[in-house]
């Protein structure tokens, strides 16, 4: 604080004494005066020195930072990679030879798959068929658009693991083929993580094309193996978790969103076990989704009610038609009454406003009056008169009272999360099986997609090097001139790059612009 005040007095005095007096004052205070040009030069030299020190620090720790890209490379894992590359040489030879065959097949298969996807996308654009998008094998993923923000952790973790396994395949195969391994690293491009290996390029160039193929195909081969392993874990998960969770008894509620129509005092709660939807039994999450799909596609089911009870519960109300042609007969805006339609021997278009829960509870489902003719008691089949896409669904989740849902079945599907695994003990988490299931599904999807995309004969991807080595191994005797072989490879790469770019551009447009 004293220094600041002292310097302030210096500046005030300098305004009176002028430039020479200010320089003399600084000198007398033990401070040296410097010409502005010399000071600027010293500042530049200091900044350059600081920049050089910063770059040396980054180089020391294997870090590289540039706009939208940051990567880290290290030699800490080199010994481990060499141990893997020298483990059981005959097995590794067979392993990567199978991977070579798979990689070549994947190169051709990826072109066919991208071509089919492109045709489906163009067809959807011309016909504007929204259902076509769900049938495509490959889709562009945009976080926050067609990827929920809540799933980003799974997404980025699966990408990173798939990338690491991919590069481990390249590194181990390279060591197996006597190519020098310089290091392993990971990177972040914008927000997307990935991995890479640093190989000695000269060694890659002197080995045979078949050896190169084993190295270049190892990445997509390992991604395929990772996808198969994840699929196996997903399939065997009930057996793996059997000591802690049991399945086949229903669908366990794990989350109900705040805006869900199933939210409420008589709705669904976390920990409830759903056993049926209408007359459709539910033993797992797959059954839940299947039942909701059937309910949305089929017409509304009816309920058997005694004729005398019908007369007792119904009350006179005004009948009017909605814009979609359906009939509404409950005009009191009640949350408990629903308009039902029915027919008798005289008239087939009768309507009654009835309390929904009293009609549905302990009632048999029906389609016609014939389904209700039992015990010689006159009964009628009453069907909720609702809008075209709206359904009345009875959800059983004992020991609680049945939930009556009125709305589109898909709203129930999108706002309620479930699990097929029921904990055997109270201290076990109901979310753990869901986390494992979801992560396995992301690994299957993203690792498979990484294998397909990298196998495409496209510039800057593994497919470029796979294609070049494949042409060298197969066309050397047919096309003697190396320049001609390179020209053939260049044209194929150009077509493959255009095919991939068209799929990405149109897929991105379909996701964001429509």
The string of DSSP letters for 139-157 reads ----BTTTB-GGGHHHHHH
Cβ proximity of 158 and 439 under 8 Å: yes
Question: Are 451 and 106 spatial neighbours (Cβ–Cβ below 8 Å)?
Answer: yes
Contact criterion met (CB below 8 Å) for 96 and 214: yes
Burial of 508 (0-12, 13-18, 19+ CB in 10 A): middle
Average pLDDT, integer, range 426-449: 95
- Whether the CB-CB separation of 181 and 78 falls below 8 Å is answered with yes
**205-257 tens-digit pLDDT:** 999 999 999 999 999 999 999 999 999 999 999 999 999 999 999 999 999 99
Q: Would you say how long the chain is, in residues?
A: 514
Q: Give the model's confidence band at 361: pLDDT under 50 very low, under 70 low, under 90 confident, else very high.
A: confident
User: 């089929």: which residue's tokens?
Assistant: 298
Which of 404, 301, 307, 406 shows the shortest CA–CA distance to 357?
Answer: 404
Q: Is residue 363 pLDDT above 50, yes or no?
A: yes
Residue 21 confidence class, pLDDT cut points 50, 70, 90:
very low
Contact 151, 438 (CB under 8 A): yes
What per-residue confidence (pLDDT) applies to 19?
36
**Predicted pLDDT of residue 79:** 96
Looking at the predicted structure, is the pLDDT value of residue 105 above 50? yes
Give pLDDT, residue 288.
Answer: 96
Look up residue 321 and give its two tokens: 């038609």
Q: For residue 180, which phi and psi values (nearest 5 degrees)? A: -70, 135
Q: Is the pLDDT of residue 325 over 70?
A: yes
- pLDDT one-digit tens code per residue, 446-474: 999 999 999 999 999 999 999 999 999 99
Closest of 247, 336, 320, 94 to residue 328, by C-alpha: 320
| Closest listed residue to residue 237, CA positions, set 421, 61, 65, 99 | 421
Task: Work out the number of other CB atoms within 10 angstroms of the CB of residue 201.
Answer: 10
* Residue 381: both structure tokens together: 């089949």
Q: Which two tokens stand for residue 308?
A: 């005398």
Contact 387, 222 (CB under 8 A): no
Q: How far apart are CA 418 and CA 272, in angstroms?
A: 10
| Sheet strands side by side (includes 251-256) | 273-274, 251-256, 416-419
Q: What gap in Å lies between CA 430 and CA 285, rounded to an integer?
A: 14
Q: Residue 481: phi, psi to the nearest 5? A: -70, 125
Instruction: Say if CB 395 and CB 268 are below 8 A apart.
Output: yes
> What is the pLDDT, as a whole number, of residue 128?
60
Q: Which two tokens stand for residue 154?
A: 């799974």
Find, among 392, 317, 400, the residue nearest to 351 by Cα: 317
Per residue in 159-215, pLDDT (tens digit) is 999 999 999 999 999 999 999 999 999 999 888 899 999 999 999 999 999 999 999
Place of tokens 């097995």: 91
Tell me which residues are annotated as active site. 167
d(CA 336, CA 120): 46
pLDDT tens, position by position, 36-73: 455 544 544 555 666 566 556 566 778 888 888 898 99
Confirm if 307 and 342 have CB atoms less than 8 A apart.
Answer: no
Burial (CB < 10 A; 0-12, 13-18, 19+), residue 418, is buried
Q: Starting from the edge strand earliest in sequence, which strands make up the sheet with 302-306, in order?
A: 350-355, 337-342, 379-384, 302-306, 365-366
**The predicted structure's pLDDT at residue 42:** 52
C-beta of residue 124 within 8 angstroms of C-beta of residue 118: no
**For residue 195, is the peptide bond before it cis, meaning its omega torsion is within 30 degrees of 0?**
no
Residue closest to 471 by CA, chosen among 496, 449, 488, 458:
488
pLDDT of residue 8: 33
Q: Hey, what are 422's tokens?
A: 């029921």
Average pLDDT in the chain: 85
């Amino acid at each position: 604080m004293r220094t600041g005040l002292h310097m302030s007095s210096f500046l005030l005095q300098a305004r009176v004494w002028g430039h020479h007096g200010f320089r003399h004052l600084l000198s007398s205070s033990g401070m040296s005066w410097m010409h502005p040009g010399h000071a600027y030069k010293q500042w530049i030299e200091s900044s350059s020195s600081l920049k050089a020190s910063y770059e040396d620090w980054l180089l020391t720790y294997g870090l590289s930072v540039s706009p939208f890209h940051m990567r880290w490379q290290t030699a800490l894992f080199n010994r481990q990679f060499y141990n893997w590359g020298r483990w059981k040489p005959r097995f590794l030879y067979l392993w990567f030879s199978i991977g070579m065959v798979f990689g070549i097949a994947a190169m051709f298969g990826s072109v066919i798959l991208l071509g089919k996807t492109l045709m489906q996308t163009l067809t959807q654009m011309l016909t504007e068929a929204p259902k076509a998008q769900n049938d495509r094998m490959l889709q562009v993923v945009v976080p926050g658009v067609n990827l929920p923000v809540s799933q980003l952790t799974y997404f980025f973790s699966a990408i990173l693991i798939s990338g690491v396994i991919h590069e481990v395949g390249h590194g181990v195969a390279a060591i197996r083929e006597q190519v020098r391994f310089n290091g392993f690293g990971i990177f972040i491009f914008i927000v997307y993580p990935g991995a890479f290996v640093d190989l000695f390029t000269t060694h890659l160039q002197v080995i045979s094309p078949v050896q190169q193929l084993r190295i270049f195909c190892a990445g997509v081969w390992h991604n395929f193996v990772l996808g198969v392993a994840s699929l196996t874990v997903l399939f065997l998960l009930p057996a793996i978790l059997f000591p802690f969770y049991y399945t086949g008894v229903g669908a366990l509620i794990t989350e109900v969103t705040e805006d869900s129509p199933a939210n409420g005092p008589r709705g669904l709660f976390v920990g409830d076990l759903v056993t049926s939807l209408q007359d459709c039994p539910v033993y797992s999450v797959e059954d839940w989704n299947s039942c909701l799909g059937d309910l949305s596609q089929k017409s509304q089911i009816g309920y058997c009610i005694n004729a005398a009870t019908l007369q007792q519960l119904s009350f006179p109300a005004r009948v009017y038609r909605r814009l979609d042609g359906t009939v509404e007969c409950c005009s009191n805006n009640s949350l408990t009454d629903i308009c039902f339609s029915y027919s008798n021997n005289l008239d087939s278009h009768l309507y009654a406003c009835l309390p929904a829960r009293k009609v549905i509870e302990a009632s048999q489902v029906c389609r016609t009056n014939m389904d209700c003719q039992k015990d010689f008691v006159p009964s009628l089949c009453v069907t909720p008169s609702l809008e075209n896409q709206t359904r009345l669904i009875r959800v059983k989740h004992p020991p609680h009272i049945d939930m009556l849902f009125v709305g589109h079945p898909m709203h129930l599907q999108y706002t309620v999360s479930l699990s097929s695994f029921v904990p055997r003990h109270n201290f076990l988490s109901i979310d753990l099986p869901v986390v494992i299931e979801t992560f396995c599904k992301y690994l299957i999807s993203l690792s498979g997609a990484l294998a397909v995309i990298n196998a495409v004969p496209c510039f800057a991807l593994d497919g470029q090097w796979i294609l070049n080595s494949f042409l060298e191994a197969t066309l050397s005797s047919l096309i003697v001139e190396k320049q001609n072989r390179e020209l053939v490879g260049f044209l194929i790469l150009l077509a493959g790059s255009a095919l991939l770019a068209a799929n990405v551009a149109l897929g991105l447009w379909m996701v964001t612009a429509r």
